[in-house]
Structure 1
Amino acid sequence: MTELRNVEAELAKFRRRVLVASVFVLFCFLLLVSRLVWLQVVRHDDFEEQAESNRTAIVPIVPNRGLIMDRNGITLATNYSAYTLEITPSKIPGTLEETIDQLSALVDIQPRDKRRFKKLVDESKSFESLPIRTRLSDEEVAKFAAQRFRFPGVDIKARLFRQYPHGELASHVIGYIGRINQREKEQIEEWPEEQQTNYKGTDYIGKLGIEQSFEQQLHGITGVDEVETSAGGRAVRKLASNPATPGNTIKLSIDIKLQKLIEEMYGERRGALVAIDPRNGEVLAFVSMPTFDPNLFVEGIDVENWQILNESIDKPLLNRALRGTYPPGSTYKPFMALAALETGKRTAGTIINDAGSWTFGGHTFRSHGDGGLGAVDMYRSIVKSSNVYYYSLANEMGVDAMHDFMKPLGFGQYTGIDINGEVRGVLPSQEWKRTYYKKPEQKKWYAGETISLGIGQGYNTFTMLQLAHATGILANGGIRHQPKLVTATQDALSRNWIPAAKEPAMNLGYKPEHVAVINRSLVGVTKEGTSARVFAGAGYVSGGKTGTAQAVTIGQKDKYNASKLEEHQRDHALYMAFAPADNPQIALAVIVENAGFGAEHAAPIARRVFDYVLLGQYPSEEDLVAVKKGQAAAPIGKPRKVEDIPWKTAAP
């Protein structure tokens, strides 16, 4: 009996164990089934998408960047295709240095290429493909292709490169593109999602000038290729494609041949010139000297060239036309005279005695050399450039009245030109001084500070763009047009030209008889005044005003002597002008830094600009040499026809 009970107990125990094991197996099976349901049913779409993405890849197609042209259709910025040798640092098995040394045996890699590549590595993420050499020859491509298996992480790509075919010409206007840096990537991440997507795969962006200001239009719309990939990640075949849309073409108002002439006339001198059509605000020339080669920046400028540009005392990277501020000197006097007429402070016939100096508050303000001009009316004050006339006028008007009149003319204001980076300059007022200075004793405006403002000195500092803009308003009878560099864009798909939007013109309400007095006086300057020798024999009548502006302040008892000053401390030469006088088609402002008198250095440049625009004449070779040296008056030699001047374009 005992044995039977033991057998039954063992069987019962065995059955319980089988039951537990069965339940456990069933539970595991249910887990497996549920997992399969989760993977095969619930997550089916997700895993199918992942599997498809492992098999396919979405490759962005970077669009061709839009062209930039001058007003006559001459290409100023274009693209060309070339092979580039690129390295992805994260895929390199050894060190970058070893890989580059081995590549140098196949492809010519110069020290400057290595320095530029190192700079790109420092600014980029390790998984990005970075160029070590561009513009590979067919022979170099073949050599590397045969040895490619030795270099994981290194590849040859066909890329479009930006090219500025005229090199340094008009570089401050055109600007340049460069590789997108980390700061710009962070800015792009803050853009709307649509714009961010449009920059997928894009390595370059506009950095300066029109390239920067019109980046969105020039960039185009990024396309995509859907490709099937191998296990190694290489494209096997294209599955679908949505082509990229090229960027729009930008047409400028600049006449690049005129721009070239002006830059050539400057020679080794520094300065700026802005020429505007006063009838519509179109900028005909926008010159800043010295200039630079924008092609240096496209693939990342090397350290050596960057130091040369950045550390030069001549500041070639400074856009003097847009960002350089200078006292206007005597070119300010015509606007002061117009202010006197419009505010009723003086009439054209008011006589002021110019005794050679003017004293206020115990301070003697110098005038014309060591002698005076005697009795001076408004016409003579401009033609002979009387300082005393405008010292006393400034005292009568006061700083705030001058500020209020000059502000609508654009002095000390943003003109709204369609290029980034414009500076305001300084049009002083009592409010400006209270805001600008921190110390209480510096905030007070003193009456003596007003006097020198009348002759364009003191706190007055303006850009050549502002002076040209104001000259255009005066030439146009008080009607103001916003300066514009871009006249139209061409849609990449329709090929239709779309005119650039324009701000409506504004009439400042000057009395025509007052404007006529000033313009007649400015014509007098070219007939019997300081620029008469320069405009002798001109085939048109122009109006203008020379100016000399201090670069540094000299002592009250000291007499200006250029020979005793460093070259960068000497006075600036200025000229503002318009032509023809009876129907102005061009207005300009020009400065030659540290050159001295405007009649000797600035006015001769203006004369040749007018001859080009109005007569279609180009200076003779001997005349160009004289202008460059600052030894020119009226043109010498036989002028050439503009259309006969050969035009060369640099090869890529």
Structure 2
Amino acid sequence: MVFKSIITQKEDQNIFLNRILFSSLLILILASIIFIRLIFLQIYDSDQYKLRSLNNTIRMQSIPPSRGLIFDRNNNILAENRPVFQLEMIPEQVQQIDKILDELGRLNLINKNKISELTERIEKSYQFKSITLNTKLSEKQIAIFANNRNIFKGIDIKSRLVRYYPKADMFSHALGYVGSISSKDYLRFDSSIYTGKEQIGKTSIERDYETTLHGYPGKEKLLVNVRGRVMDRLDTEPFQPGNNLILTLDSHLQEIAYNAMQGKKGAVVGIDPTNGEVLIFISTPSYDPNKISQGMSISEYKAFQNNKNKPLFNRAIAGQYPPGSTIKPMLALGGLDMGYINPDNFIPCEGHYLLPNYSRPFNDWARHGSVNTVRAIQASCDVYFYELAVDMGIEKMSSFLSKFNLGKKTLIDLGSEKKGIIPNREWKKNNFKSKQNQSWYQGETVITGIGQGYMLATPLQLAMATAMIANRGSAFRPHLVRAIENIKTGELTYTSTEEINNLQHIKQEHWDIIHQGMVAVVNERRGTAYGIFQSNVSVAGKTGSSQVFSIDKSSTKEIPEELKDHGLFIGFAPLEKPKIALTIIVENGGGGRVSAAPVAEKIMQAILNSERQDGV
């Protein structure tokens, strides 16, 4: 055995100790680095990493708000929210998906023809996320599913709110409808208060009061794993429902008018002359907004759009018609005010009017004999108004009629309103390209005097003009929303409207003449609406016919319905304190007496019966 010297052993011991010292020092340095890093992570960088951690585990989900309700003036519900039940599947919880879908189809719980489409959607979606299989289950389908629930693991029934309109077709053009939110809709409103799941107003009141009806979404804090699956619900902030609307419409009068129209093409608008509240707002034919709001296929919607009777078209504010003889009381008032006619003077009517240096006569619909202002309105004598139009001239005639708010929008609280046309020389110059066609001819002045030619008005405009006649010169801007109810406090904020006083300068005796003529239309033998209303009824009115196609009057029975004249009626009641100013237009009705006046009679009778019951 070889023994190391004492010196050698000592050297080895020093080397060993140095190695231990070096290793310890290295460990200490590494530990210090780790320790310092931990300090930075836990103290200085803790907020950053905590935020990253939370973002990976917590998500905020919006809860769509319930939409505000809509009532009529008597608190009858017109638009509400109802739950519908839909069938949903979470694919990862379902074994043999194809087999299950076939079974659901066999039980008529899903559309058999859409199974392949559903399969494709399921394959493209996250397996842990719910897929809707049927958006609206019937009570029978719900019962069938309940009886077979044990074989449908991973499939369940969920509820959601949809808009429901109890009166269906009757109020559709006033209320409008709702639908799924689109990219264009996001541009119209603050996208931060929309979740993308709710329905949004598409037309009429639903659209124009969207911000009032919508409300504010709630929020839900969800704990999710790395795959996005919800593990827990940590917190919920409830949504704020939308505010309610109380409309000016009267359901009773609306129903009478709607039924009286019998689905014929046309419109009925009734206004309270004392405040501009719209009592009746009808456009026919109508449509059921429930079918659109609760889901309609593209082909079904296109069928609506392509329907020749245009049920989606809002005739009450966008239909523009020649007003025909309904403007005669307004024109007579202008003639009286400007001194062109004397109410006591009579002129002869031989059934036609001859314009100097004009080749053909302008025919009247009858020979009326000797007529003054009252009789001209009563019998709707065209010759009287041909002469008046020529005497006044197109510029003065146009200027005076515009004071009835014709030729401009009424500014009702609905979009899509048309302004109609009150023609004059400047209008024609601006609307015809050919210089030859830009000239205004005397014959055009003549036919403008009976509301034909280029003149156009909407039913709403004529109702507002009638309100001005009823009030002897003043009217209020028409509006459909009477009040907004704050959903939190229950407080009602009522709509204030502008009063228009364009004609209050006119002498009362001139207004008396116009009212006498309109009363005679309804109550005296030569009146164009005589016999339609009960005798001595407290109604003033004026019939009108709007020519669609120029044709010999003797041939009217032989022409197709779509070429017949439109029938019009304007009126107000009761005479002493008018409660309604009314306009009815029946497209291709063949004349105001036979088509529009009978509709007016039913409405006016309801108004007068109500007056008698109230003891007025």
* CA distance in structure 2 between the partners assigned to 1:325 and 1:398 by the alignment: 24
Verify the 8 A CA contact 2:543 2:593 in the aligned structure 1: yes
Distance 1:116 1:491 in 2: 44
Corresponding position of 2:530: 532
Partner of 1:462: 457
Identical amino acids, percent of aligned pairs: 34
**Is the contact made by 2:324 and 2:546 (CA closer than 8 Å) also made in structure 1?**
yes
- Structure 1 segment 156-555 matched on structure 2, within 5 A: 156-185=157-186, 187-188=187-188, 191=189, 195-230=190-225, 233-360=228-355, 361-369=357-365, 372-506=367-501, 508-509=503-504, 510-528=506-524, 529-537=527-535, 540-554=537-551
Q: Does 2:563 match 1:569?
A: yes
DSSP 3-state at the match of 1:275: strand
AA in 2 matched with 1:72: N
In the TM superposition, what is the alpha-carbon distance from 1:312 to its structure 2 partner?
1.9
Q: 1:200 to 1:574 in 2, by over 3 A?
A: same
Aligned to 1:14: none
Larger radius of gyration: 2
| Structure 2 match to 1:599 | 593
Contact 1:426 1:459 (8 Å CA) reproduced? yes
Give the drift of 1:60.
1.2
The normalised TM-score by structure 2 is 0.84
SS at match of 1:483: coil
CA shift, 1:487, in A, is: 0.5
Which segment is superposed worse, 223-232 or 208-217? 223-232
Partner of 2:6: none
SS of structure 1 residue aligned to 2:166: coil
User: Does the CA-based 8 Å contact 1:348-1:378 persist in structure 2?
Assistant: yes
Deviation at 1:447, TM superposition (A): 2.2
CA distance in 2, matches of 1:570, 1:183: 41
CA distance in 1, matches of 2:57, 2:220: 14
Q: 1:467 deviation in Å?
A: 0.6
Output aligned runs, 1:13-28, within 5 Å.
Answer: none
- State yes or no: 1:584 paired with 2:578: yes
Name the count of aligned residue pairs: 580
Q: Quick one: which amino acid aligns to residue 488 of structure 1?
A: A
CA contact (8 A) 2:241 2:487 kept: yes
Q: Which amino acid aligns with 1:173?
A: A
Q: Output the TM-score relative to the length of structure 1.
A: 0.80
The equivalent of 2:12 in structure 1 is none
RMSD of the alignment, in Å?
Answer: 3.7
1:584-622, CA deviations, whole angstroms, 9 ceiling, x for partnerless residues?
11110101111112112211111110111221399xxxx
Q: Do the aligned residues in 2 keep the contact of 1:179 with 1:300 (CA within 8 Å)?
A: no
State the one-letter code of the partner of 1:412: G
Which of 599, 602, 616 in structure 2 is aligned with 1:608?
602
CA distance, structure 1, for counterparts of residue 590 and residue 63 of structure 2: 55
Unaligned ranges ≥5, structure 2: 1-24, 123-128
- Cα distance in structure 2, aligned partners of 1:46 and 1:437: 70
SS in 2 for 1:345: coil
1:12 is matched with none
Unaligned residue ranges in structure 1 (runs of 5+): 1-21, 122-126, 619-640, 643-652
Q: Report the Cα offset of residue 448 of structure 1.
A: 1.9
SS of 1:576's equivalent in the other structure is strand
Per-residue CA deviations over 1:546-580 (Å, capped at 9, x if unaligned) read: 111112233xxx44522221111101111111111
Q: What is the Cα deviation at residue 112 of structure 1?
A: 9.3
SS of equivalent to 1:418? coil
| Residue identity matched to 1:537 | S
The verdict on how the C-alpha distance between 1:337 and 1:149 changes in structure 2, with shifts beyond 3 A counting, is: same
Tell me how far 1:444 sits from its aligned partner. Answer: 2.2
1 CA distance for matches of 2:278 and 2:268? Answer: 11
Partner deviation per Cα, 1:387-409 (whole Å, 9 max, x = no partner): 11111111122222122111121
Q: What's 1:82 paired with? A: 84
> What is the CA–CA distance in structure 2 between the aligned matches of 1:411 and 1:501, rounded to whole Å?
22
Name the CA distance, whole Å, in 2 between partners of 1:99 and 1:450. Answer: 75
Out of 26, 50, 53, the residue aligned to residue 51 of structure 1 is 53
CA contact 1:290–1:316 (8 Å) conserved in 2: yes
Structure 1 residue 40: Cα displacement:
6.0
Q: What SS does the aligned partner of 2:523 have? A: helix
